[in-house]
Each structure stands twice: as C-alpha cells, then as structure tokens.
Amino acid sequence: MSTSSRFAVAVHVLTLMAWADEEPLKSEQVAESVNTNAVVIRRMLCELAESNLVVSQTGSMGGSKLARLPERITLLDIYQAVESRGVFSLHRHPPNPDCPVGVNIGTVLNGVLDEVDSAVERVLANMTLRDVVSRLKPCVSTANRKGVSVANGKGVSAATNGKRKQVARVHSVSVRN
C-alpha cells in the first residue's frame, strides 16, 4: 500500500504546538523537528488552518499555534484535515459492466471499504492531541520543558548529515479467528 506520511507529519506538527503551549512556532522551527523543508510544513499548516486546527499569523514575530486546546483536537480531526480519501481505493478503471461480477463488485466493495473506514475513524476519534502529549512525556525529561526552543537551538546534527534510515514498523500480527 502506498501509504502517505501526511498523517504522521500532521500529528507531529500539532504535537509540537501542544508542547509549545500557546507560543507561536515558526515554520522553520517545525521543519527542523520534522526534518523536512519549511515550505512543506507551511503547506500542511494551511490545510490544518482550513480545518480550524491551527491559527497562523503572518509578518515578523508571526507563527502558528493551536486553534484550541489539545484535548479538543482528536486524531480524527487531524486525519480528516490532511488525508483526502479513505484507506483503500476501488479499481483504477471501472470493471467490465458486461460481466456479472464486474458490474456489481464495486457496490459490494464500497460497503466493505466503508466499514473499514468507519473502524479507522472510530479508533482515531478516541484519541486526542493531549493523549499524544501524555504518551510522549514519560519518554523525555520534563525539566526544561517551558520556554525552550522546540527543535534545537542550533543546527541539526545527527539527523541531517549522511544517510538516513527509516525506522521499521513493527506490524501487529493478525487476529485470525
């Protein structure tokens, strides 16, 4: 599946803002943490702003912050803001309408895919940005939490130079009955 990382990046971005707690973040700072280009972040921030998840301010001393409290933003909100379509697609070209299976498989599949999408949405609706931040906290020292530049004061070191390796995803084993 050619899954996109848009959802992961969007959650990351908003988590930074929840972490920064009202202080507006610049796209450059966010980009540094996400390890990408600032324009990529600004593009995504525009989408998030359209869904009323963040507010941005132009001009000097500008930046973006959450539009509401982290506990009032669910992962479903984020998902719907940045991922346009459902989890699966139907055929790229419509099947042969002269075949008894081909003419109807789309309807049946749509039913299945809607069930899948609903299941995904139910899971995402049950977690808020606040939950994400909570899960994050135990992992880091919370000593210098406030007022610290989010990404890293000066130049990114380890992540930017040289080869990068994608962290493998440990996949959950199926639950065949």
Partner DNA sequence: CCAACTGTAACTATATTTGTTACAGACGAT
Partner DNA sequence: ATCGTCTGTAACAAATATAGTTACAGTTGG
Binding positions for DNA, rule: CB under 7 A: 1-2, 4-6, 9, 25-28, 36-40, 42-43, 45-46, 49, 56-64, 84, 92-93
C-beta of 39 vs 90, nearer to a copy of itself: 90
> What is the C-alpha to C-alpha distance for residues 107 and 103, in angstroms, rounded to an integer?
9
Q: Which is nearer to a copy of itself, 61 or 101 (CB)?
A: 101
Structure token pair of residue 156 = 């990114």
Residue 37 site contact among DNA, a copy of itself, none (CB < 5 to 8 Å, cut-off depends on kind): DNA
- Check residue 67 for interaction with a copy of itself (CB under 8 A): no
Contact in structure between 134 and 13 (CB atoms under 8 Å): no
How many angstroms from the chain centroid is the CA of residue 105?
Answer: 32
Residue 121: burial class (beta carbons within 10 Å; 0-12, 13-18, 19+): middle
Residue among 118, 146, 147, 161 that touches a copy of itself (CB under 8 A)? 118
Can residue 69 be called a binding residue for a copy of itself (CB under 8 A)? no
Least distance to DNA, CB of residue 142, Å: 26
By CB under 8 A, residue 162 contacts a copy of itself: no
DSSP letters, 63-132, are: EEEESS-GGG-BHHHHHHHH--S-SS---SSPPPTTSTTHHHHHHHHHHHHHHHHHHHHHHHHT-BHHHH
Which of 114, 129, 146, 162 binds a copy of itself (CB under 8 A)? It is 114
Residues in 10-49 at the binding interface with a copy of itself, rule: CB under 8 A? 11-12, 15-16, 19, 32-36
